[in-house]
Amino acid sequence: MNPYLSRRNFIIQTAASSAAAVCSTAVISSLAAERFVPPIAVFSKAYQTLKLNFDESAAVTAEAGLDGIDCPVRPAGEVLPERAAEDLPRYFEALRKRNLQLPLITTAITSVSTPHTEDILRTAKKLGAQFYRLGFIERQSDVPTQITEIKAQLKDLAAMNSQIGMVGLLQNHSPSGRTYLGGNLAELREIVSGFDPAQIGLAFDIGHALIVHGDEWRPHFEKLKSHLKVAYIKDATRAGRWLPFGEGEVGQSGYFKLLKQLGYNAPISLHLEFDWTDKGKSKTRPALVKALKDSSRVLKQWLAAA
């Protein structure tokens, strides 16, 4: 103790220092609590452009600073459905060596009768995956009847999901030569209503929602948010152009604030829908890594600003 400091002043200063330390800790804790940093997994369909093997794919993911992959396990995908039991573990091992994860997969599954459904889901679950995206369903002329039929198929699939411990995801998709059921969010709400979100949930794609609904996407989202499980992120304009991250309208949509308010902490699936190859002139590994780094950097900026 300073000999020239009275006991009373010493007590006052000590108390003030302690209070300052508590306040500082509280501020740091508050800032930490406000950080919005869900893990980012790349939809690795982009890797098929370069025909990367599993080890190369894992290396690119690590080099780009991402947390894992959303693997296409479907016909013509990175992993073929009939090879899932053999190839998914091999892919996972390449990822694990680089401290990467396989939190979700993308499939062509639409019912329990889709070939290899149970093998795919049980294998993915063993490797730590929690979610799988269902296959697309083309929209037919009699939509009410089609929705009734689809819900009946999903009922059996939901039971299998519950047994295995996986969540099946329906994605909203804008027309792209074909029109998919559920691209209209009102239809998608009809499909998922009545299902437990722990069995049948939603992969909400804000880019496709902007294209289909414009500024009206938000009221639709409010009616669907109870089923939100995974956010699919790509940048787009309302006119339907896919652009590099930061050049479209997704960053100004307000979507990331909504995710933060909902306490979203599932993986984000990052999609490279723009032409990162410059019409094939830069179809190289460095160009792919650059596209991934640039995209994830902008995505993290959007998350930080939420």
129 - beta bridge partners?
Answer: none
Which of 53, 117, 49, 47 lies closest to 84, judged by CA? 117
Q: What is the pLDDT of residue 33?
A: 52
Mind listing the pLDDT tens digit for each residue in 46-101? 999 999 999 999 999 999 999 999 999 999 999 999 999 999 999 999 999 999 99
- Cβ density class 207-219: b for 16+ within 10 Å, e for less: bbbbbbbeeebee
* Domain edges within the chain: 38-305
d(CA 34, CA 182): 33
Task: Give pLDDT tens digits for 96-117.
Answer: 999 999 999 999 999 999 999 9
CA dihedral 189, 190, 194, 199 (to 10 degrees): -60
pTM as predicted: 0.89
- Which numeric CATH code is attached to 38-305? 3.20.20.150
pLDDT in tens, 156-174: 999 999 999 999 999 999 9
Q: Who contacts 172 (Cβ-Cβ below 8 Å, separation ≥6)?
A: 182, 183, 185, 188, 202, 204, 205, 208, 209, 212
Q: What is the pLDDT of residue 10?
A: 45
Strand-pairing partners, residue 171, are 203
**pLDDT at 280 > cutoff 80:** yes
Of 8-17, 135-144, 212-221, 248-257, minimum mean pLDDT range? 8-17
Q: What is the pLDDT of residues 125-156, one digit of tens each?
A: 999 999 999 999 999 999 999 999 999 999 99
27 pLDDT more than 50: no
Structure tokens at 172: 């909203």
Confidence tier at 35 by pLDDT (50, 70, 90):
confident
CB atoms under 10 Å from CB of 54, counted, come to 19
Positive or negative, the CA dihedral 168, 170, 176, 181 is positive
pLDDT of 16: 52
Question: From CA 235, how far away is CA 292, in angstroms rounded?
Answer: 13
Q: Which of 88, 86, 117 is nearest to 104 (CA)?
A: 88
Per the prediction, the chain carries an average pLDDT of: 92
Instruction: Please give the Cα distance from 191 to 103 (Å, whole number).
Output: 24
Q: Between residues 138 and 23, which one has the greater pLDDT? A: 138
Do the beta carbons of residue 78 and residue 58 sit within 8 Å? no
**CA nearest neighbour of 205 among 173, 237, 175, 180:** 173
CA atoms of 46 and 272, how far apart (whole Å): 7
Task: Please report which confidence band the pLDDT of residue 13 belongs to, taking 50, 70 and 90 as the band edges.
Answer: low
Maximum Cα–Cα distance across the chain:
91
What's the CA gap between 234 and 269, in Å, rounded?
A: 9
On whether the CB atoms of residues 255 and 264 are closer than 8 A, the answer is no
Task: Tell me the per-residue pLDDT of 163-202, one tens digit each, with 9 for 90 and over.
Answer: 999 999 999 999 988 999 999 999 999 999 999 999 999 9
